[in-house]
Amino acid sequence: MVFGLRVARSDDESGPDRLLDTVRRKHALPLLLMVNSGHSALLSRSLLDDGIKVVVKPIRREILYRNICALFGLDRRTPDAEAPCEVHAREFAGLRVLVAEDNDFNRDLVTRVLQAAGAEVTQATSGDAALELVRANDFDIVIMDLHLPGMDGAETARRLRALGPDKRLMPIIALTADVFANDRDGDAMEMDAYLVKPLDEGKLWHAIRRLCRPAAATSASAEDAAASVSVAEIRRRMQPRLVASIAQQRQRIGEAVTRRDLAALGELAHELRGVTGYFGLKEFSEAVAEFERVLARSDGFEEIERQLARIDAFIEGLSSTAEDDAAETSA
């Protein structure tokens, strides 16, 4: 059952709960509730935990689809989500994209990938900066990391939606290292799609086409149509910079170990996992994830040093690979 509810603010905050409880007793059906922005806060947590899904008006297609699938336990992937996907060199020409990502390296990688497909990219390094840019400009889509400094991606998305009706309907793609992010109902109300790191270009193209089909449907010359964007090639070109960036991060981690600064170590480890994840360095990224778990458990600095030795082995291997590639290129 899809149920539209207009919640009136009053001293009796149990009113919405009583009404929904009556509906559920009378109709033993899955319930999807549509409410105005801000009114979901008036619904009790226990009621929402009881299987009711809430979407905020105006309704966006992707959010409605995801919540209906969740109600019935269906696969939330669109039919073509696993199909091979390529994009030609000018397919997204004129598409105005805001990329909000605090890590310089990751932000540059996403920007280069989008620009290779013809998109016009504006960058933001924080949630506050993204908010100001959206307030002053019109974007076709926002691609945003959930782990932003200060105001995180989820809160930034909520504030972007509150800027007005036109901003409320603007698609937002969340980038995250959390494979379960798609299941968090509170954030899902504001995000139209989640992409889990490392960046999968096929899923990125699918998401943009699905959310921005009118803006992205551009004509291409025969030459452009024959030239596919290669994320692997973009990553290869950025590899020397990657090695230098990771070496700098490792130095900062060593300094934090010397200071016995666990908070700084946590932030640096998350940043390193993000970089390795974006680059598809799966085993390296998993080693950093284990390092994060050791930090969270407070296992002591002896165990921290052991985990760092594993990370150093991956850094050495990455450096050797980069040197070999450079030698082949110059030969």
Instruction: Give the pLDDT confidence of 169-224 residue by residue, as tens digits.
Output: 899 999 886 654 554 444 455 788 888 876 777 888 888 988 886 444 455 554 55
The dotted CATH code for 96-229 is 3.40.50.2300
92-143 per-position pLDDT tens digit: 888 999 999 988 888 888 898 899 888 999 999 999 999 999 999 999 999 9
Least Cα distance to 55 among 154, 187, 155, 151 occurs for: 187
Please report, to the nearest 10 degrees, the dihedral formed by the alpha carbons of residues 185, 85, 282, 322 taken in order: -140
Q: Where are the beta strands (DSSP E) in 2-83?
A: 2-4, 32-35, 53-56
145-175 per-position pLDDT tens digit: 988 888 888 899 989 988 888 888 899 999 8
Predicted local confidence at residue 124, as pLDDT: 96
SS3 state of residue 137: coil
251-302 per-position pLDDT tens digit: 999 999 999 999 899 989 988 888 887 777 889 988 999 999 999 887 788 8
Please report, to the nearest 10 degrees, the dihedral formed by the alpha carbons of residues 104, 109, 112, 115 taken in order: -100
Does 242 have pLDDT greater than 90? no
Type of residue at 48: L
Instruction: Place 328 in a pLDDT band, splitting at 50, 70 and 90.
Output: low
Q: What are phi and psi of 311, to 5 degrees?
A: -65, -40
Cβ count within 10 A of residue 68:
16
Structure tokens at 280: 């598809």
Predicted local confidence at residue 82, as pLDDT: 44
Predicted local confidence at residue 156, as pLDDT: 93
Q: What is the pTM of this model?
A: 0.66
Please report, to the nearest 10 degrees, the dihedral formed by the alpha carbons of residues 238, 241, 242, 244 taken in order: 170
Between residues 289 and 19, which one has the greater pLDDT? 289
Whether domain 232-323 has CATH 3.60.10.10: the reply is no
Predicted local confidence at residue 39, as pLDDT: 54
Predicted local confidence at residue 137, as pLDDT: 94
Predicted local confidence at residue 215, as pLDDT: 47
State yes or no: cis peptide before 149, omega within 30 of 0.
no
36-89 per-position pLDDT tens digit: 655 555 555 545 555 677 766 656 666 677 677 776 666 555 444 444 456 676
Predicted local confidence at residue 267, as pLDDT: 87
The helix or strand, by DSSP H or E, that contains position 193, with its residue range, turns out to be strand 193-196
> Distance between CA atoms of 175 and 233, rounded to whole angstroms?
21
Q: Would you kindly state where each structural domain of the chain is located, as residue ranges?
A: 2-57, 96-229, 232-323
The mean of the pLDDT values for the chain is 76
> Distance between CA atoms of 292 and 307, rounded to whole angstroms?
10
